[in-house]
Amino acid sequence: NAGVTQTPKFRVLKTGQSMTLLCAQDMNHEYMYWYRQDPGMGLRLIHYSVGEGTTAKGEVPDGYNVSRLKKQNFLLGLESAAPSQTSVYFCASRGSGAGTEAFFGQGTRLTVV
Amino acid sequence: LAKTTQPISMDSYEGQEVNITCSHNNIATNDYITWYQQFPSQGPRFIIQGYKTKVTNEVASLFIPADRKSSTLSLPRVSLSDTAVYYCLFCKAAGNKLTFGGGTRVLVKP
């Protein structure tokens, strides 16, 4: 049981390049989330999904797109990377029961130069 | 919009009890109060969750007064390895957003 797995763990992009971050969970969870965390700051919600085929905007959605074509995967896309998107990205999932806990991945450290 | 307020940082010493209080603005009837711990370079991990009164597990205790406008996370006899950032947040019984605040940075000194 791997839990929540993020791919890749590290990436360096040039400004204007695109990339996709993959989050996979094997716990059959309904809800999935993408966060970014800048140095010394808390986590900020980018986008989230309450089920397969659904997505919704979080606090800081600009410059990102997401897709949830399969229940176990939640993809985060950067169409045209900017230095301001340099951050650590965390994915999380949780079940739909009352007050269920969220499980987080180990993070993806992205640097945009 | 429901919001939590907690101290930015706290210092403690090994063996002491650490209490972190979180204020909840406009907590909803169906919101659970949840605490997460985050070590450097790692994702947050769940510590404890409660709805009202007191909850205790092997890691911590959570005290929630009757009005539910605040909660206190209690870490008994902390060690150096408890140095981390602790987040208080709401978790709705029926899913959707999971929004983190700034957290409380706890430093445990020898």
Quick: pLDDT tens for A46-67.
999 999 999 999 999 999 999 9
Span A63-85, mean pLDDT? 97
Which of B1, B27, B30, B46 should one mutate to test binding to chain A, selecting the residue with the greatest count of A CBs within 10 A?
B46
Gap between the Cα atoms of B91 and A99, Å rounded: 6
Is 70 exceeded by the pLDDT of residue A16?
Answer: yes
pLDDT value of residue B90: 78
Question: What is the pLDDT at residue B2?
Answer: 58
Question: pLDDT at position A1, please?
Answer: 58
List of chain B residues with pLDDT < 50: none
Q: What angle do CA A52, A53, A57 make, to 5 degrees?
A: 105
CB contact under 8 A, B98 and A42: no
Query: Between A112 and B31, whose confidence is greater?
Result: A112
Which is nearest to A110 in space by CA: A6, A1, A4? A6
Chain B CB contacts of A94 below 8 Å: 95, 98
- Looking at chain A, which residue has its C-alpha nearest residue B39? A106
CB proximity B7 to A under 8 Å: no
- Closest chain A C-alpha to B14 CA, distance in angstroms: 24
Q: Is residue A69 scored above 80 in pLDDT?
A: yes
pLDDT at A100 over 90: no
First CA to last CA across chain A, in angstroms?
36
Mean pLDDT score of chain A: 94
B64/B72 Cα distance (integer angstroms): 7
Question: Which residues 78-97 of B have a C-beta within 8 angstroms of A?
Answer: 85, 87, 91, 93-97
